[in-house]
Every structure is written in C-alpha cells, then in structure tokens.
Structure 1
Amino acid sequence: MFTAEDKFYIEVTGDALDVMKYINHVADPAAGAISTFSGVTRNNFQGKSVIKLEYEAYTPMALKKLEELAHDLARKWNICKVSIAHRVGTVHVGEPSVIIAVSSAHRGESLEAVHWAIDELKASVPIWKKEFFEDGSTWKENPESRRLLQAHPGPGEAAPAVPCKR
C-alpha cells in the first residue's frame, strides 16, 4: 500500500508490474515532472528469437541495494519521490521486468535520475537474467555488473581497483 508520506517505494516481486502503480506512487503536488523507465522483454536478441526471460534475485540484498539506490537519487538530484520495482520469475515478451519512476519539480532532474538509476541498478543489484531462445538458453551477463563481481571476489581472491563511473 502506498501512502502520501512515502518518499520511496521499492519492490522485488514475482507479480506482473503495472507502470501506473509506480507513477501513481510518485505523483506529488510539488512535482511538475514524472519520468519513467520500463525495461520490457523484446522478442529478439542478436538475431535470435527470444521466448521468455527468467530472473532470479538474492532478494534481501536486492531490496537493500535498491533502497540505497533510491537514497542516492535523493542525494544527487532534487526529487520528490522514487519508485523502483524489479520482477523475478518468468517474464514473457512484451512484459516489463523493471520499472523506475521519479518525480521532481522540473523534468531535468527526473530524467537524469532515471537514466542514472537504471545504469546503477544493472551494475550493483544482485538480480540475474536467463534468456530463453528457440534454440536454447543462456545466463546473461550485463557488462555493467562486472563492477559488482570485481568488488566482491571469491574466497582467497583480491579485489582489483575499479574506478567509479560518474
């Protein structure tokens, strides 16, 4: 349930995502802009027909990272409210797997915040995607997620220095 006092709404869910739910959450009388990003399953990837995607998450850590991301947005931009939702489980072609909604007084802040948020989400939140094609399946690595892997090496491995992207 959403309340007017909630500045952030964070969700990792197996349920279908409805973009209007998240837009309604960030609506605010002080906001002149609401910007959204919806990541939707497309029907092809590099010439292969995509049947579906399946997402897995380490949910407690994913929620923590998404909450940190929302707080970072509020520190970096003058925003009113933020909603971030990511789906887990099966996501069929045409369905959204991630929605980010940000409201602000002016469009510049919300547009920049949404753009930054999706890049940061892909780089830092422990959610993994398996792509199913007509001829098989594969786990997908986001190039952005290499930063997460480098920051958390396996046992006995040293983490290399990784410059921050700004």
Structure 2
Amino acid sequence: MLYLYDGALDVPTILKDWYEQEEKSNYGAYIPFVGTVRSEDNIDGLSFDVYEPILESWFKSWQEKAKQKGAIIKMAHSKGDVMLHESSYIAAVFSPKRRVALEFIDEFVEDFKASAPIWKYDLKNGKRVYALDRSTAIKGSGILK
C-alpha cells in the first residue's frame, strides 16, 4: 500500500480513506505520521524525485516486517513540488496492539529518512537546488572505486 502523488498530499482525504479501508479489520491501533514542509533557509518549498523500483522494493520489505507482527503499513509520498506548510509524506501503521504500532512507525520513519530512494531539492527564488546538506546517502550507494 504505497501511494505516490504529484504535488502536495491531501492529508485529510488520505487519512480518512486509509481509516475507512481498515475500520472493520479489527486493528486496535491506527498510528499515522504526517511530514510537512517547514520554513527554513528561506525556501519556498521542496521538490522530490522518486526512484520507484527501489522504493517499491524497500517498501515491500517493510510490509513483510509488518505482516510478521500482525500489522500493516501504508505510505504516501509526493513527487515534484510541495510548498511550505503542505505535506509531502504520510505513513501509517495499523496493528492489533498499540505498542507494536507505536514502535513500528518510529522504526519505519527513521529507516525511510535513511534508506528511501527519494531526492530532495529546495525551491528558492524559482530555482530547484539539490538539498545536499539535508540529504542522507542511501546505504550501498556511491561511486565504486
């Protein structure tokens, strides 16, 4: 349940849809995380490039981890431009037990920041500039010597 959208995410609609998809699934916990573009370094917003094949593989591994705990994970992310105070990222865990959901969402969001193949650019003065100082190298990436 990986969803990619062009531009900013419609948070209320996505969270409502996810809740309605699972409301009869007998999960005791629904823990969402919403990431919002914040004002910093005089940016007008952020822009995102997504490498979908690797993202889908990465997400599939997390779905398997969730399944082993009796839970499910959903994620939505933006492609392209997202302006200040709009959302670019939503993740949610549905689980029979709250502790599983609370711990799993934390692990998932942290690994997303470290491992997801999504490149972030600052939008400044009409230009798209790679946000190198706020980016994390993906494990195993780089130039081979």
Q: TM-score range by the shorter chain?
A: 0.7 to 0.9
Contact 1:27 1:34 in 2 (8 A): no
Please name the residue that 1:10 is paired with. 2
Cα distance between partner residues in 2 of 1:24 and 1:137: 37
Q: Which of 34, 39, 56 is the matching residue for 1:38?
A: 34
Question: Residue 153 of structure 1 corresponds to which residue in structure 2?
Answer: 142
Q: Unaligned stretches of 5+ in structure 2?
A: none
Alignment of 1:1-166 (within 5 A): 9-14=1-6, 16-17=8-9, 18-42=14-38, 44-45=39-40, 48-75=41-68, 77-79=69-71, 81-133=72-124, 138-141=129-132, 145-146=136-137, 148-149=138-139, 151-155=140-144, 157=145
Offset at residue 94 of structure 1 (A): 2.1
Give the alignment's TM-score, normalised by structure 1: 0.72
* Structure 1 unaligned residues grouped into runs of 5+: 1-8, 158-166
TM-score by length of 2: 0.81
**Higher alpha-carbon Rg:** 1
User: What is the CA–CA distance in structure 2 between the aligned matches of 1:100 and 1:16, rounded to whole Å?
Assistant: 14
Q: RMSD in angstroms over aligned alpha carbons?
A: 2.5
Q: In 2, are the aligned partners of 1:23 and 1:101 still within 8 Å (CA)?
A: no
8 Å contact 2:121–2:129 — kept in the other structure?
Answer: yes
